[in-house]
């Protein structure tokens, strides 16, 4: 095929090396002792050690960061999906008063810089007693995740023919039964893709999660940045902590790998 | 699809409406409230009208941050968009390598933003980083913590590393939707590689590309964590972008009035530019289609 000759595997290879090299360097460092990191310079650890990982898994100051981050991310994904599913259905099936304005208004929240909301969120959640809880961060992240979910899900739902709804109602299904038994399985990959994006944006966000937590619900991102600013830097542990934050991403992306291109194909991120 | 009119659909939308109203409208009202008042502590507020807005509009600090931000966003878009398209054109189309590339390419997108900063912080250091060490041994002067140019280059390379994949994935999805028949027709016409790109691939990608550019604009305009971890806004103020500046003002100095006025103008600038982008690009899109 003539078409194939346009593609060069070398370009892809170079790009992937460019992407992987900094990550590899972090991985390499996480298996070194601090003495080796600061003393010698090598592409492979000379004295392979798991000490840095042991530190993280035994020190509550570190591993609680992961548990906290995971907790608010999961709560956020559940809330976002639960409220976005019916709304996306409404947007994809019906016209109602102010629907276009509402949809646009939702999307403007995706454009809101988190820095603008950091201070008011801090005061809002302090005043209702949610400061330093998972709920504060989970609710704060709905600001950009709910509009996103509605947007992605609406795209998937539009692809389901309306005749299916009508047939189900004629067959005597109630709305909830239809939604749960027939509609949700039809857009399962859409729900997967949405959950993936909600997970991703909540997991990678730093500013709001750092502002809204102090001790009890401190996220891993906050733990990492605060260690840097406190007593001198423990590079090995920092590298190991960084590697561990990448692991959930790899797992999630592995599970949705077949759906992700489809999600992107709809042009909705 | 023709939709039916149903006002009861509001009940389905109500949870979203309430939730987003809670997490967007209340904070925004707080900000507006602060932006027109002055306080001397103890919850005593006095009305100052638009004084804070005037102060911020004329403040050099905001001008400089906005200038730096605009420059960063422009450079990033100019590099990432062509580069992303170029990589997407070279992606394998199907089979094992296609999914392998997809997974590997998407990886930087899933790394927490502060860790992206940490990765490059380590990678660029002269004593322990591969990049910094290699450059130093080649005799190139490079220190992102002290040298403004190095800091900027590091931030730009970091952002290209972090976000080009998003553009690649979107363009790739657009390319996947082109039927093979188009290419066969082009081959019969003996179209050059360039005209295949210009008249088949680019028009088919324009929809997703529009979204990619819009997203990259919005997100780069809000950039906070990566430069915060990497340079902390330094050396001096040379990498203090809008978000970093605003957070310093709001949460560091706790200057409620000016920070709120700053916030509102920041938000408006993002909305305005996004809107202009969107209108201009959709009108170009329509012209191209005719």
pLDDT by residue (tens digit) across A218-243? Answer: 888 888 876 654 456 788 888 898 99
Structure tokens at B139: 């005799």
Q: Is the pLDDT of residue A254 over 70?
A: yes
Q: What is the mean pLDDT of residues B43-65?
A: 80
Residues 6+ apart with CB under 8 A from A30: A52, A53, A236, A239, A240, A242, A243
Q: What is the mean pLDDT of residues A61-68?
A: 88
Q: What is the mean pLDDT of residues A157-165?
A: 85
The DSSP element (H or E) to which B4 belongs, if any, is: strand B4-5
More confident: A43 or B226: B226
Contact at CB, A22 and B170, closer than 8 angstroms? no
Q: What is the CATH number of the domain that holds B132?
A: 1.10.3720.10
Q: What DSSP letter does each residue of B257-286 carry, written as one string?
A: HHHHHHHHHHHHHHHHHHHHHHHHHHHHHH
d(CA A44, nearest CA chain B) in Å = 12
pLDDT by residue (tens digit) across A17-50? Answer: 999 999 999 998 889 887 777 777 777 888 888 8
Asked if A16 is an interface residue toward chain B (Cβ–Cβ < 8 A), one would say yes
B162 occurs within a structural domain: yes
pLDDT score recorded for residue A238: 87
Cβ neighbour number for residue B82 with a 10 Å cutoff: 11
- Identify whether the C-beta of residue A132 lies closer than 8 Å to the C-beta of residue A217: yes
pLDDT score recorded for residue A60: 84
Q: What is the mean pLDDT of residues B91-109?
A: 84
B285 occurs within a structural domain: yes
pLDDT by residue (tens digit) across B248-257? Answer: 888 777 778 8
pLDDT score recorded for residue A265: 54
pLDDT score recorded for residue B33: 83
pLDDT score recorded for residue A141: 92
- Domain containing B94 equals 59-289
Spell out the domain ranges in chain A: 58-265
- Identify whether the C-beta of residue B30 lies closer than 8 Å to the C-beta of residue A120: yes
Asked if A41 is an interface residue toward chain B (Cβ–Cβ < 8 A), one would say yes
d(CA A189, nearest CA chain B) in Å = 16
B37 occurs within a structural domain: no
Contact at CB, B270 and A112, closer than 8 angstroms? yes
Selection from B64, B79, B80 nearest residue B212 by Cα? B80
pLDDT score recorded for residue B157: 93
Contact at CB, B26 and A120, closer than 8 angstroms? yes
B3 occurs within a structural domain: no
Contact at CB, A110 and B218, closer than 8 angstroms? yes
The phi-psi region of residue B223 (left if phi > 0; otherwise alpha if psi is between -120 and 50; otherwise beta) is beta
Residues 6+ apart with CB under 8 A from B197: B89
Selection from A206, A49, A215 nearest residue A140 by Cα? A206
**Spatial distance between the Cα atoms of A83 and A74, rounded to a whole number of angstroms:** 14
Please report, rounded to a whole number, the percentage of residues in chain B having pLDDT higher than 70: 95
Query: Which among A7, A96, A147 has CB closest to B10?
Result: A96
The DSSP element (H or E) to which A94 belongs, if any, is: strand A94-95
**Which residues are paired to B5 by β-bridges?**
A95
> Helix (H, G, I), strand (E, B), or coil: what is residue A199?
helix
pLDDT by residue (tens digit) across A75-102? Answer: 999 999 999 999 999 988 888 888 888 8
Grade residue B86 by pLDDT with cuts at 50, 70 and 90.
very high
B84 occurs within a structural domain: yes
Grade residue A5 by pLDDT with cuts at 50, 70 and 90.
very low
Q: What is the mean pLDDT of residues A203-210?
A: 88
HEC readout, A11-28: HHHHHHHHHHHHHHHHHH
Selection from B287, B257, B190 nearest residue B50 by Cα? B257
Q: What is the mean pLDDT of residues B223-235?
A: 85
Please report, rounded to a whole number, the percentage of residues in chain A having pLDDT higher than 90: 19
pLDDT score recorded for residue B42: 63
Contact at CB, B16 and A140, closer than 8 angstroms? no
Contact at CB, A112 and B263, closer than 8 angstroms? no
Q: Is the pLDDT of residue A269 over 50?
A: no
Asked if A45 is an interface residue toward chain B (Cβ–Cβ < 8 A), one would say no
Question: Nearest residue on chain A to B113, judged by CA atoms?
Answer: A204
Asked if A8 is an interface residue toward chain B (Cβ–Cβ < 8 A), one would say yes
ipTM beyond cut 0.85: no
pLDDT score recorded for residue B81: 93
Contact at CB, B115 and A2, closer than 8 angstroms? no
Q: Taking the mean position of all CA atoms in its chain, how far away is CA A190?
A: 16
Test mutation, A19, A113, A195, chain B, max B CBs within 10 A: A113
Structure tokens at B46: 């006095």
Q: Is the pLDDT of residue B77 over 90?
A: yes
Asked if A112 is an interface residue toward chain B (Cβ–Cβ < 8 A), one would say yes
Query: Which among A110, A225, A257 has CB closest to B99?
Result: A257
Query: Which among B101, B111, B243 has CB closest to A12?
Result: B101
Q: Is the pLDDT of residue B75 over 90?
A: yes
Question: Which residues of chain A make contact with B173, given a CB cutoff of 8 A?
Answer: 261, 264-265, 267
- Identify whether the C-beta of residue B155 lies closer than 8 Å to the C-beta of residue B228: no
Query: Which among B19, B92, B119 has CB closest to A7?
Result: B92
pLDDT score recorded for residue A2: 44
At the topology level, CATH places domain A58-265 in MetI-like fold (1.10.3720)
The phi-psi region of residue B41 (left if phi > 0; otherwise alpha if psi is between -120 and 50; otherwise beta) is left
How far from B270 is each of A111, A267, B76, B216, CA to CA, in Å? 7, 21, 16, 12
Test mutation, B66, B89, B110, B125, chain A, max A CBs within 10 A: B110
Question: Nearest residue on chain A to B14, judged by CA atoms?
Answer: A87
> What single-letter DSSP state applies at residue A171?
T
Question: Nearest residue on chain A to B264, judged by CA atoms?
Answer: A116
Question: Which residues of chain A make contact with B104, given a CB cutoff of 8 A?
Answer: 16, 19-20
Mean pLDDT of the residues in chain B: 84
Phi then psi for B18, rounded to 5 degrees? -65, -45
Contact at CB, B208 and A264, closer than 8 angstroms? yes
Which range among A163-177, B28-42, B53-67, B218-232 shows the weakest confidence by mean pLDDT?
B28-42
Number of domains in chain B: 1
B239 occurs within a structural domain: yes
Test mutation, B9, B231, B266, chain A, max A CBs within 10 A: B9
Q: What is the mean pLDDT of residues B86-93?
A: 87
**Spatial distance between the Cα atoms of B26 and A126, rounded to a whole number of angstroms:** 14
Q: What is the mean pLDDT of residues A60-80?
A: 91
Q: Taking the mean position of all CA atoms in its chain, how far away is CA B139?
A: 34
B253 occurs within a structural domain: yes
B53 occurs within a structural domain: no
pLDDT score recorded for residue A262: 61
Grade residue A4 by pLDDT with cuts at 50, 70 and 90.
very low
């Amino acid at each position: 095929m003539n078409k194939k000759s346009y593609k060069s595997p070398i370009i892809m290879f170079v790009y992937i090396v460019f992407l992987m090299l900094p990550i590899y360097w972090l991985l390499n460092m996480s298996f070194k002792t601090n003495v080796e990191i600061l003393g010698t310079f090598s592409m492979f650890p000379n004295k392979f050690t798991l000490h840095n990982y042991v530190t993280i898994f035994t020190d509550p100051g570190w591993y609680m960061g992961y548990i906290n981050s995971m907790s608010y991310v999961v709560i956020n994904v559940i809330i976002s999906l639960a409220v976005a599913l019916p709304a996306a259905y409404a947007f994809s099936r019906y016209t109602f008063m102010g629907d276009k304005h509402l949809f646009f208004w939702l999307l403007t929240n995706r454009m809101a810089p988190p820095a603008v909301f950091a201070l008011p969120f801090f005061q809002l959640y302090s005043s209702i007693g949610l400061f330093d809880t998972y709920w504060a961060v989970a609710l704060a992240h709905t600001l950009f995740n709910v509009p996103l979910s509605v947007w992605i899900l609406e795209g998937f739902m539009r692809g389901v023919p309306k005749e299916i709804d009508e047939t189900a109602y004629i067959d005597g299904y109630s709305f909830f039964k239809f939604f749960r038994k027939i509609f949700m399985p039809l857009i399962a990959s859409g729900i997967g893709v949405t959950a993936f994006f909600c997970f991703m944006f909540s997991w990678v966000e730093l500013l709001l999660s750092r502002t809204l937590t102090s001790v009890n619900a401190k996220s891993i991102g906050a733990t990492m940045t605060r260690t840097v600013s406190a007593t001198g830097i423990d590079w090995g542990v920092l590298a190991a902590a960084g590697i561990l934050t990448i692991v959930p991403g790899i797992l999630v992306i592995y599970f949705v790998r077949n759906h992700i291109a489809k999600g992107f194909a709809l042009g909705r991120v | 699809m023709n939709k039916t009119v149903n006002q009861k659909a509001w009940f389905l939308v109500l949870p979203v409406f309430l939730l987003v109203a809670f997490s967007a409208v209340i904070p925004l009202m707080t900000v507006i409230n602060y932006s027109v008042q002055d306080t001397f502590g103890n919850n005593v507020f006095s009305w100052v009208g638009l004084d804070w807005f005037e102060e911020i509009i004329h403040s050099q600090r905001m001008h400089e941050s906005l200038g730096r931000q605009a420059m960063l966003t422009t450079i990033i878009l100019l590099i990432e968009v062509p580069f992303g398209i170029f990589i997407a054109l070279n992606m394998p189309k199907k089979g094992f390598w296609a999914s392998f590339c997809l997974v590997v390419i998407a990886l930087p997108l899933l790394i927490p933003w502060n860790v992206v900063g940490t990765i490059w912080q380590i990678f660029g250091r002269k004593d322990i980083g591969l990049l910094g060490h290699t450059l130093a041994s080649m005799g190139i002067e490079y220190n992102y913590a002290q040298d403004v140019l190095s800091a900027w280059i590091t931030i730009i390379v970091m952002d290209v590393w972090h976000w080009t994949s998003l553009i690649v994935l979107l363009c790739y999805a657009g390319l996947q939707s082109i039927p093979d028949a188009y290419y066969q027709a082009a081959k019969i016409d003996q179209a050059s590689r360039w005209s295949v790109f210009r008249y088949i691939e680019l028009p088919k990608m324009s929809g997703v590309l529009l979204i990619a550019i819009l997203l990259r604009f919005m997100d780069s305009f809000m950039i906070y964590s990566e430069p915060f971890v990497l340079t902390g806004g330094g050396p001096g103020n040379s990498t203090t972008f809008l978000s970093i500046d605003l957070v310093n003002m709001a949460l560091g100095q706790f200057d409620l009035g000016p920070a709120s006025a700053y916030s509102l103008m920041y938000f408006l600038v993002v909305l305005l530019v996004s809107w202009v982008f969107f209108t201009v690009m959709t009108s170009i899109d329509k012209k191209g289609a005719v």
